[in-house]
Amino acid sequence: MEPLVTGRRGFLAASAGAALALGLAAPAGAARRSPFGRFGSPAARLTERTLYVHPGGAGDVTSVGAALAAATGPGWTLVLAPGIYRETVAVDTGRTGTTWIGASENPRDVVIVYDNAAGTPKPGGGTYGTSGSATVTVQADAFTARWITFANHWLRADHPGVDGTQAVALKVQGDRSSFWHCRFLGHQDTLYADTMALGTFARQYFAHCYAEGDVDFVFGRATAVFEHCRFRTLDRTDLAGPPYGFVFAPSTAGANPRGYLVIRSRVTGAAPDGFYKLARPWVPSSDPTARPMLTVRDTWLGPGIDPAAPYANMRDAYPWQSMRFAEYRDTGPGAVVSVPENRPQLDAEAARQHTRTAWLGDWTPWTQGTLTGSLPAEEVSIGPRTSRPRG
């Protein structure tokens, strides 16, 4: 495993847990602690279908890819020790019910990262394209991840001649996919919440997660709920003025009654006030009938969001006003309604239909337990104003 150069981007600074796994300085007494925390070990497996990943050799395998190669079929759990895993990984459709756990229960400690972009040349010719740039791709249904960072370290400044600057950290396409206390780090197209096919409606749930980027950094056609999450816009030095980018770019199929729902979350940023748009609709050439849908409710919008014009067109042929964008009871300087026609608002009756239950139906991931019991209370009860996701 190659070491990751983190100086160019501070968000990949390793914690003490990651330093221990990489053989760097560790705090006194750390050697006596299991690198797999409360989740067992190769000598004391929680289940027969649990594998332990440790970059230094203290587990069953040293990489996530090797664990997937060993754990064929459905129902496997991978417990990842602290470390930086520099690799690309794909979870295919045959691995239903897979669970990944960051053993330290701190997503800063377990980082899966690579640096392909859409315009990166592929061995043998061509380029990766947006989908192929993903560090991790999940196609299996019922995938769960906890306390893991998914990152794409590709930087525009390092590749001035590359036009395809999309660089995906995670592409998730499976139905009933859930992410708890995870981080998604990149610049353009960081988190691709999508489906396997145009006619497939995949449901996804993100709780207490953190995502950052600049252009369309949460995008795709999934039915996705983001609850108690934080979205952080990045500053840019390559542009002279606004807009620097867009937080959301849904591409919801026209036949899908549910797109993205953001609830009880926060949008913060490092850019100047008003330099970001909240969203723009993505109508891909492969689906000109798409009607992107986004509801942002009970969420704090920071000053980086342009309050007068928070939405923009991706293409003038598909104006955002004809799409399904709505807000409800948002607060913060980026939520001030100064131009009402630019801020479509739900009334109380309509808002009752824009809930996680309405979005996800009979799938209620917030009630599921872990391998060792129920979720900690903080994962189901703390709102964005009392506890911000770590990131």
Please list the active-site residues: 189, 216
Q: Tokens 């709505």 belong to which residue?
A: 326
d(CA 140, CA 30): 36
Written in H, E and C, the secondary structure of 239-270 is CCCCCCEEEEEECCCCCCCCCEEEECCEEEEC
d(CA 22, CA 5): 13
The two tokens of residue 169 are 């950290």
Phi, psi of 67 (to 5 degrees): -65, -40
d(CA 38, CA 46): 10
DSSP string, 198-249: TT---EEEEES-EEEESSS-EEESSEEEEES-EEEEPP-SS-SSS--EEEEE
Phi, psi of 5 (to 5 degrees): -80, 115
**Cα distances (angstroms) measured from residue 224 to each of 193, 251, 385:** 7, 12, 22
Single out the residue of 246, 248, 130, 112 nearest to residue 183, CA to CA: 112
Q: Reading across the β-sheet that carries 230-233, which strands appear in turn?
A: 83-86, 110-114, 149-152, 183-185, 210-213, 230-233, 266-269, 300-301
d(CA 261, CA 293): 8
Beta bridge partners of 183: 149, 210
155-188 burial, b at 16+ Cβ within 10 Å, e below that, comes to eeeebeebebbbbbbbbbbbbbbbbbbbbbbbbb
The two tokens of residue 135 are 């560090």
